[in-house]
Amino acid sequence: MDHAHVLLTDSLGRPATPEPHILPVERMVDLGAVLAGAEVGRTGRDDITAFCSVGLAGTEVAVAAVLLEESH
């Protein structure tokens, strides 16, 4: 996770692990905010992105894939 440029999560208010957190919560960015353009996600093809799912394991990623495909 130290090498990731972007740490995305589906729930900033509810970290996936109890304290002390395994992942640096202060670096996490909300997936919805990135998709809406309110936060910056990847800025280059070589950027490493990690996703911490707290919700329905993979549902958000599937929805995001469809939304990104429709926007291109």
In a domain, 1, yes or no: no
In a domain, 46, yes or no: yes
CB 64, CB 31: distance < 8 Å = yes
Average pLDDT rounded to a whole number, residues 27-35: 89
Domain total in the chain = 1
What is the pLDDT at residue 44?
A: 92
Domain that holds residue 63: 6-71
What is the pLDDT at residue 21?
A: 62
pLDDT band for 33, please (50, 70, 90 cuts): very high
Q: Which is it for the CA torsion 34, 50, 61, 72, positive or negative? A: positive
Residue whose tokens read 């957190």: 21
